[in-house]
């Protein structure tokens, strides 16, 4: 009997070991790993040391790369923050969730807009929450707040699977710092003023016509026009004077902690919250998403780091962010969690080439890659750093050149947590665990589709049998001035209209031979040109058949400021509070 029991025990133990080793988990732990995600804002792929920069010091991010896996072809699903982050959170192209715009406003403009990540989208945080993870988001959200009322919080992080939120529901803007030129879309301001004038003229005409009997119209219709005109006028007026109070706020869960936020202590508060979250949840499992406000303009940097880099204010800001990464990693070490934590670092898209102050460059460097933030096709707008670490599971010092996507984080985390992917929708990301561990040599992606707003600009084909990475550009932005490499004077490059060029046949590159996209191929120079173009064209048609119509979250109505949706600490419109006081030490 004893011998029989021993045999059963031995068989069970061997089966258990086989399971954990098969999925690559046994080397580090025998339970679900903690998950720590770092996402920078507007960081260029060439801005950190492990990707070739020698003027900006990033020892902590570089350490992650040395101790883990570095991806050299890590691709954002969009070249702008709101749609890229929506794809990151859901594992789906933003066009599927309505987070891709068909107009000129490709990111949310106000906390008091009604657009945002739809409540029916399932984030990785929600799935991990269901698996027993304690989930937290520290930093930038930029996926909306409310839908119909100022406190319905339909787009809020707590409604998308996060147990705890401390950070900025919007994004940093120059408007958040005193003495900086306004950054909120100048074109939007002009359009709001034009609409205000047109509607005011219409109201006056209708009113005079009604009173004189020349026009038969109901007062209710005139009242509706008056209300609409008032909204456009208030949106125009507030875009000049109230952005700092209405957009630049910090929230703790559903409560406003600072309105407006005090930038001189924001980094300290974010760091304190991240370290505190790890300490509170050290018995795990936890998911902590640290979504940096760095390195978006206005590049507010604390005195400790000002003037320290060889790359001006932008370099100072990157080095401050790297220091924060190091402090958070130190907290993992202090709690004995380093070997039990799956860590990831990336940027939401490429560096902002057009961000300048006179001759000073305030945006990032995208290395050898053409283009930058806002450009849906060119590599500089979508190729980003991608670094993973999990000691004992992921082989240290590994470099992977295969095409991967920020959308891949979704199925990767779902796999690590033991959850199941949603079966009622298309998931565009792929599980990276086999590739990261060296169990697979090729990426599961055959095609990646590169959107600018809701417009498809380029398609990448990973021809696995030959190793070629073909990329066809159907639309490219018109650089200003000509040949400049960016759209200087326009903020960012447009996605459609007179500011783009359509290509038929498409511009074709083989990124494995020409990663800078400097020499487009043709039927005369590339024997496979027609075959590749046809193959990519068929894949594009198949992809488009998988798309279904959804409400556009970034429509003009949804991005327009609405007073009844404005988060306000106080009595509207006098929104002001400081619940943080001086509770945090300076950096």
| Cβ within 8 Å of residue 283, ≥6 positions away | none
354-391 core/surface letters (b: 16 or more CB in 10 A; e: else)? bbeeeeebbbbbbbebbbbbbbbbbbbbbbbbbbbbbe
Concerning whether 81 is annotated as a catalytic residue, the answer is yes
Q: Contact 144/99 with Cβ under 8 angstroms?
A: no
3-state secondary structure of 468: strand
Picking from 449, 322, 339, 349, the residue whose alpha carbon sits closest to that of residue 394 is 339
Q: Where are the beta strands (DSSP E) in 464-557?
A: 468-477, 500-510
Q: Contact 390/367 with Cβ under 8 angstroms?
A: no
| Cβ within 8 Å of residue 169, ≥6 positions away | 111, 141, 142, 144, 145, 156, 249, 251, 567
| Cα–Cα dist 290/346, whole Å | 11
Picking from 156, 122, 119, 164, the residue whose alpha carbon sits closest to that of residue 413 is 122
Q: Where are the beta strands (DSSP E) in 348-454?
A: 356-357, 360-361, 383-389, 398-400, 404-405, 447-452
Q: Which of 5, 50, 74, 81 is catalytic?
A: 81
| Cβ within 8 Å of residue 341, ≥6 positions away | 33, 34, 35, 36, 332, 390
Q: Which of 74, 142, 160, 457 is catalytic?
A: 142
Residue 536 CA: distances (Å) to CA of 259, 369, 403? 49, 22, 16
| Cα–Cα dist 59/368, whole Å | 22
| Cα–Cα dist 205/198, whole Å | 11
Concerning whether 450 is annotated as a catalytic residue, the answer is no
Picking from 125, 135, 35, 137, the residue whose alpha carbon sits closest to that of residue 343 is 35
Q: Where are the beta strands (DSSP E) in 397-518?
A: 398-400, 404-405, 447-452, 455-463, 468-477, 500-510
Tell me the pairing of strands 383-389 and 447-452: unpaired
Phi, psi (degrees; rounded to nearest 5) at 165: -135, 130
Residues for the chain: how many in total?
587
- Catalytic residues, by residue number, are 81, 142
């Amino acid at each position: 009997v004893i011998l029989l029991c021993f045999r059963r025990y031995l068989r069970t133990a061997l089966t258990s070991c086989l399971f954990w080793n098969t999925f690559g988990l046994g080397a580090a732990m025998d339970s679900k790993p903690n998950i720590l995600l770092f996402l920078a804002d507007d960081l260029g792929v060439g801005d950190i040391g492990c990707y070739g920069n020698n003027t900006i010091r990033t020892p902590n991010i570089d350490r992650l790369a040395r101790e883990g896996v570095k991806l050299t072809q890590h691709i954002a699903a969009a070249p702008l923050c709101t749609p890229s982050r929506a794809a990151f959170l859901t594992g789906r192209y933003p066009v599927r969730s309505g987070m891709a715009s068909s107009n000129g406003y490709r990111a949310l403009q106000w906390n008091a807009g009604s657009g945002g990540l739809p409540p029916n989208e399932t984030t990785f945080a929600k799935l991990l929450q269901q698996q027993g993870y304690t989930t937290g988001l520290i930093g930038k959200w930029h996926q909306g707040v409310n839908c119909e009322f100022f406190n319905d919080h339909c787009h809020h992080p707590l409604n998308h699977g996060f147990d705890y939120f401390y950070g900025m529901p919007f994004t940093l803007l120059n408007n958040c710092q005193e003495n900086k030129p306004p950054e909120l879309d100048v074109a939007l301001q002009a359009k709001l003023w034009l609409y205000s004038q047109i509607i005011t003229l219409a109201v006056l005409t209708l009113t005079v016509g009604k009173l004189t009997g020349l026009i038969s119209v109901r007062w209710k219709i005139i009242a509706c026009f008056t209300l609409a005109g008032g909204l456009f006028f208030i949106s125009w007026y507030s875009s000049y004077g109230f952005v700092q109070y209405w957009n630049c706020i910090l929230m703790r869960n559903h409560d406003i902690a600072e309105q407006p936020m005090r930038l001189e202590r924001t980094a300290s508060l974010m760091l304190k919250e991240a370290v505190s979250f790890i300490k509170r949840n050290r018995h795990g499992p936890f998911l902590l998403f640290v979504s940096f406000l760095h390195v978006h303009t206005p590049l507010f940097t604390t005195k400790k780091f000002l003037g320290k880099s060889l790359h001006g204010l932008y370099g100072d800001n990157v080095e401050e962010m790297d220091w924060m990464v190091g402090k958070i990693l130190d907290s993992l070490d202090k709690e004995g969690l380093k070997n039990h934590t799956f860590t990831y670092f990336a940027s939401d898209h490429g560096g902002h080439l057009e961000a300048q102050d006179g001759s000073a460059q305030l945006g990032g460097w995208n290395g050898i890659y053409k283009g930058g933030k806002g450009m849906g096709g060119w590599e500089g707008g979508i190729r980003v750093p991608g670094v993973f670490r999990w000691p004992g599971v992921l082989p240290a010092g590994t470099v992977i050149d295969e095409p991967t996507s920020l959308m891949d984080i979704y199925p990767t985390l779902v796999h690590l947590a033991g959850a199941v992917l949603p079966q009622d929708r298309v998931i565009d990301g792929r599980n990276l665990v086999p590739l990261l561990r060296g169990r697979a040599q090729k990426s599961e992606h055959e095609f990646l589709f590169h959107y600018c707003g809701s417009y498809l600009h380029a398609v990448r084909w990973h021809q696995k049998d030959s190793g070629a990475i073909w990329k066809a550009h159907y639309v490219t932005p018109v650089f200003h001035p000509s040949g400049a490499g960016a759209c200087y004077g326009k903020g960012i490059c447009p996605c459609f209209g007179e500011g783009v060029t359509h290509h038929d046949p498409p511009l074709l590159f083989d990124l494995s031979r020409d990663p800078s996209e400097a020499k487009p191929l043709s039927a005369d120079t590339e024997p496979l040109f027609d075959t590749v173009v046809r193959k990519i064209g068929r894949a594009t048609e198949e992809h488009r058949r998988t798309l279904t119509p959804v409400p556009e979250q970034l429509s003009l109505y949804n991005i327009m400021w609405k007073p009844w949706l404005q988060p306000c600490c106080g009595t509207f419109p006098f929104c002001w509070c400081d619940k943080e006081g001086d509770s945090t030490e300076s950096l």
